[in-house]
Amino acid sequence: MLKVLLVIVGLILLTIGIVWLIDKFVPKKAKPILNILLWALIVFLGYITFMSVYGEMQFNKLREDRYKIVITKLKDIRDAQLAHRTVNKEFAGNFDDLIKFIDTAKFTITQRKDSTVIDADLTARFGGVETTRDIVIIDTLGFVPVRDSLFGADTRYKTIMNLPEGIGPAGAKFQLKAGKLDDSGISVFEAWVDKDVILHDQDKNLVNKEKEVMSVDGVRGPKLKVGSMEEAETGGNWPGNLSKH
């Protein structure tokens, strides 16, 4: 964009210079027509310059607004996946299983207490001298539905796989994968949507430029995602200004 603007500004300055030269050296009879044509060119180039800057500003605002909405749903997916791992020790590999889990699973509510008991073996070993040891007692207090804990009475989890309304082409969905790291066996997952999908109706040049972003102040790479299939990571690839979490 900067190069384009510099070229346009250079052309405007060049045109103004040509107008000055015409005014100095071209016969009076030919001046009016040439001046009109050149000033029309200056106005046209000025308009292109303004629209280039304004168009990118509008794109940046729309992109940020859409990203914020998509991130809200990615955070729902992450919360549901973390709950799935808490209960089942691994992440869900598809949305059908994840939704079924939310509908049916329950968290176990426990209470942890430290206690001291007599150690019979040590007591016998020390000739009857009463010897104690510390233990941890975990009591089960009850069960809470995962659905209620994460979403309350809201049923938005039933469409957790769909992009928010008004973003992406009709029927657009998130992608989801889960598995284990080869070297450690740690359970991992990744949910994502391509920037091409989120910005499907925008200028292709600006979208392609956005897909190449590697700055820490932007969403790095060609997709908006949470989690990772390459490392034990459950965060998203978006910067802090797009989300409070």
Map residue 192 onto helix, strand or coil. Answer: strand
Task: Supply the pLDDT for residue 100.
Answer: 96
pLDDT at 7 over 70: no
pLDDT at 53: 65
Q: What pLDDT was estimated at residue 118?
A: 75
How does residue 9 score in pLDDT terms, banded at 50, 70 and 90?
A: low
Alpha-helical segments (H) within 129-223 = 146-151, 195-198, 204-211
> What is the residue extent of each domain of the chain?
2-105+146-242, 106-145
Number of H helices, E strands in the chain: 7, 5
Instruction: Work out whether strand 175-180 and strand 187-194 pair parallel, antiparallel, or are unpaired.
Output: antiparallel
- Of residues 107 and 98, the one with the higher pLDDT is 98
pLDDT digits (tens, 9 = 90+) for 72-93: 999 999 999 999 999 999 999 9
d(CA 194, CA 224): 6
> What is the SS3 assignment for 101?
helix
- Mean of the pLDDT values across residues 94-110? 88
Looking at residue 8, what is its pLDDT?
Answer: 60
Cα 106 from Cα 90, distance rounded (Å): 15
What are the pLDDT digits (tens) for 114-132? Answer: 767 777 776 777 676 677 7
Global pTM reads 0.72
pLDDT tens string 10-43: 666 766 676 666 666 666 666 677 667 766 776 7
C-alpha separations of 59 from 94, 195, 205 in Å: 33, 13, 11
pLDDT-above-70 percentage for the chain: 72
